[in-house]
Structure 1
Amino acid sequence: MKSLKIIFFGTPEFAKTCLQAIHESPHQVVGVVTVADKASGRGQKIHTSAVKDYAVANNLPVFQPEKLKNPEFLEEMKNLKADVFVVVAFRMMPKILFEMPDLGTFNLHASLLPDYRGAAPINYAVINGEKKTGATTFFINEKIDEGNILLQEEIEISAEENAGMLHDRLMEMGAKLVVKTLNGLAENSIQEKPQPQVEHPKNAFKIFKEDTKIIWDQSSEVVHNFIRGMSPYPCAFTVLNIGDETKSLKIYKGKFEISEDKNPAGTLEIDKHQFKIFTRDGVYLPEELQLEGKKRMSVKDFLNGFQQFDHISMA
């Protein structure tokens, strides 16, 4: 099998795992492109991406362009004479860049395309109660996540799995799929195919803060899936009145029960032994949560922190 020369584009841990798998394969990484270093936090400490950290530790050439159309950067990419570009969890690429290598540029996406195009495919697969999802490698074109499919692999979603757990499993599976795709391109054994035409593919738009608020006037199962799909990040939240204060409450984990109780959705029953929030058809029982200004804790520790439960209500 021919060893391909690769330029890798990516930023977070999900991408780093793919870079590592390529670096440990017979193929050669001739360059790594990642986001510019950022100063953040109280001390404005410089933070580097997981992809950069791996590349530096393994003596791989790193490029951190502010603009992907920068002529000097494009010239650097051209001079590396890569056979193929691999993109995982990066930003949108200009045509002048993704058309550069002879074998093209392919992306790894954490869904079974055409469903769940967009920024948050893992979260939405869990939120929507899917029983399976997967990963897809596909050639990049000018439309986001719409290029021809190279390889796809399915994975089952277990009933109590949250987005973080699924992310970690897809990360490992996706890294293997990337190497498998590179092997197939090297051997010319992959037949690319257009994505199926689906009238209403399921979307996975970027999640903003306002999208993470729990709507309690839904079925218990829908609420449960929403909380699983947002955990551990960005994390679903609700709002409590505690005495004279209004505080947000993140919920990481819990369970639900279908019940005939007629309490209105979005009200709660709380005492030193239990914390129940009523839904349209039952109750949700938080198990791991985080009150604004506090650390993440079990519901038992949360309840132990209060004396007067009659001062707590849903906002």
Structure 2
Amino acid sequence: MTQPLRIIFAGTPDFAARHLQALIQSEHQIVGVYSQPDRPAGRGKKLKASEVKALALEHNLPVFQPQSLKNDDALVELKNLNADIMIVVAYGLILPKAILEAPRLGCLNVHGSILPRWRGAAPIQRAIWAGDEQTGVTIMQMDEGLDTGDMLHISRCAINADETSASLYTKLAELGPDALIETVNKLAKGELKAEPQNDEQANYAKKLSKDEANIDWSMDAAQIERNIRSFNPWPVCFTQMGEQTVKIYQAQVVDQTGSAGQVLSSDKTGVVVACGKHAICITQLQPQGKKPMAISDFLNGRSDWVTPGTVLGENNE
């Protein structure tokens, strides 16, 4: 290791805190931690510090929580930290050009996809949604574009057939910190070579929406099944079933056919519903006011909602 780097870290959720923890345990020096302002949380709506802020305070690191970085005062405050580099992980605020250029070595970002495959807000979810077989973490030099900077390091992992956004998030949260430390160490030694992204291969990973989670039974079963996994744990796919809206947590594609949305069979092994192509077998769901449950438990009280021939996605009151 050459001279340790003076680092500003900017991040907010748990995913970011795991990267900060790795930096704290490294030989580098954290000179400042930026995180979003405290937000109301819980029933009492009391202000709650982010996971990054809590970790920083635990280690007696200086914390900064500006509402914006787009003013002169914020720039002066950041420059006064005299950092070599700023590392940004799920921070949530836009960094203007002046901030990007303030540290001696600029700003690095940890992004949850193999760039340029998925740029934008929801790369983890969109990789599952699209049926990708692998994803990973890219460490890139930040520029003014949306995840368009030159790539410094890529770590890859497989996307399993039963992968949900929650499980893939955990994978990348374990993969990212090691990739970041390796990158920072090489940067300190001057051993990194930046690779430009190919814009022609880029896709935009737009945010998920509740409307998108409303199951369209005319879609192919394979796409619906991927939606169910990619929208778990939020916003969770749902459909109209019997008297209410029911969330769907687990399902498998089956080689059956019928009218889209029609229940083909219903027993303790699952509820089979026809899609635009093939069908899915629902094995775990959540009625309103209840916890997620196995289909066998659901059928004990609500089997009349899914009798064969019933069409889901319609109000059947």
Where does residue 20 of structure 1 map in the other structure? Answer: 21
The answer for the alignment partner of 1:163 in structure 2 is: 165
How many residues align? The count is: 308
1:128 is aligned, of 127, 130, 140, to 130
Say whether residues 1:249 and 2:249 are aligned partners.
no
| Whole-Å separation in 2 of the counterparts to 1:307 and 1:173 | 43
Question: Displacement, 1:234?
Answer: 2.3
Partners of 1:86 and 1:105 within 8 A in 2: yes
1:194/1:272 Cα in 2 relative to 1: closer, same or farther (>3 Å)? closer
Counterpart code for 1:204: A
Establish whether residue 268 from structure 1 lines up as the match of residue 263 from structure 2.
Answer: yes
For residues 288 and 71 of structure 2, what CA distance do their matches in structure 1 show?
Answer: 43
The answer for the alignment partner of 1:208 in structure 2 is: 209
- Tell me if structure 2 keeps the 8 A contact 1:120–1:206: yes
Superposition deviation, residue 272 in structure 1: 5.6
Q: What CA distance in whole angstroms lies between the structure 2 residues aligned with 1:258 and 1:307?
A: 23
Letter in 1 for 2:250: K
Larger CA deviation: 113-122 vs 274-283:
274-283
Distance 1:11 1:310, change over 3 A: closer
Would the aligned equivalents of 1:123 and 1:163 in 2 still touch at CA under 8 Å? Answer: yes
Does the 8 Å CA contact 1:5/1:27 hold for their aligned counterparts? yes
Aligned to 2:157, the other structure's residue is in SS state strand
Q: In the aligned structure 2, how far is the partner of 1:61 from the partner of 1:217? A: 53
For structure 2, the residue ranges without an aligned partner over 5 or more in a row are none
User: Is there any run of 5+ residues in structure 1 with no aligned partner, and where?
Assistant: none
Q: How many angstroms does 1:313 deviate by?
A: 4.7
CA distance in 2, matches of 1:26, 1:226: 42
Residue 222 of structure 1 and its aligned partner are, at CA, apart by: 1.6
Letter in structure 1 aligned against 2:290: K
Match status 1:300 vs 2:282: no
Contact 2:242–2:305 under 8 Å retained in 1: no
Counterpart of 2:236? 235
Per the normalisation by structure 1, the TM-score is: 0.92
Pairwise CA distance, 1:269: 4.2
Q: Which residue of 2 aligns with 1:5?
A: 6
Question: Offset at 1:196?
Answer: 1.9
Match of 1:291 in 2: 287
Give the 4+ runs in structure 1 shifted more than 6 A: none
Contact 2:69 2:94 (C-alpha < 8 Å) held by counterparts: no
Q: Look up the equivalent residue of 1:267 and give its one-letter code.
A: Q
* 1:61 and 2:62 correspond: yes
Asked if the contact 2:236–2:247 (Cα under 8 Å) also holds between the matched residues in 1, the reply is: yes
Cα deviation code 1:101-154 (max 9, x no counterpart): 001101011111111100000101011111111111111111110011111122
| Matched letter for residue 128 of structure 1 | A
Q: Where does residue 183 of structure 1 map in the other structure?
A: 185
Per mean C-alpha deviation after superposition, the further-off stretch among 89-98 and 65-74 is 65-74
Aligned to 1:110: 112
Number of the residue aligned with 1:281: 277
Which deviates the most, 200-209 or 182-191?
Answer: 200-209
Distance in 2 separating the partners of 1:227 and 1:111: 20
8 Å contact from structure 1 (residues 219, 279) kept in 2 = yes
Within 1, Cα distance between the matches of 2:197 and 2:77? 33
> Following TM superposition, by how much is the alpha carbon of 1:38 offset from its aligned partner in structure 2, in angstroms?
1.0
Cα separation, 2, equivalents of 1:101 and 1:188: 16
Residue 254 of structure 1: how far off its partner (Å): 1.8
Alpha-carbon deviation of 1:186?
Answer: 0.2
Deviations 1:215-270 (A, max 9, x none): 2212222211111111122222222232xxxx2221121212112x3x20112246
What one-letter code is carried by the residue in structure 2 that aligns with 1:268?
Answer: V
The more displaced of 206-215 and 146-155 is 206-215
- SS of 1:67's equivalent in the other structure is coil
Match of 2:30 in 1: 29
Query: How far 1:42 sits from its partner (Å)?
Result: 3.2
Alignment-mate amino acid for residue 167 of structure 2: M
RMSD between aligned residues: 1.8
CA drift of 1:13 comes to 0.9
Change (3 A) 1:309 1:230: closer
Distance 1:48 1:289 in 2: 33
Q: Partner of 1:102: helix, strand, or coil?
A: coil
Once the two structures are superposed, residues 183-208 of structure 1 have per-residue CA deviations (whole angstroms, 9 ceiling, x without a partner) of 1110000011211241x522211112
Q: Cα distance 1:228–1:307, how it changes in 2: closer, same or farther (>3 A)?
A: closer
Identity, % of aligned pairs?
37
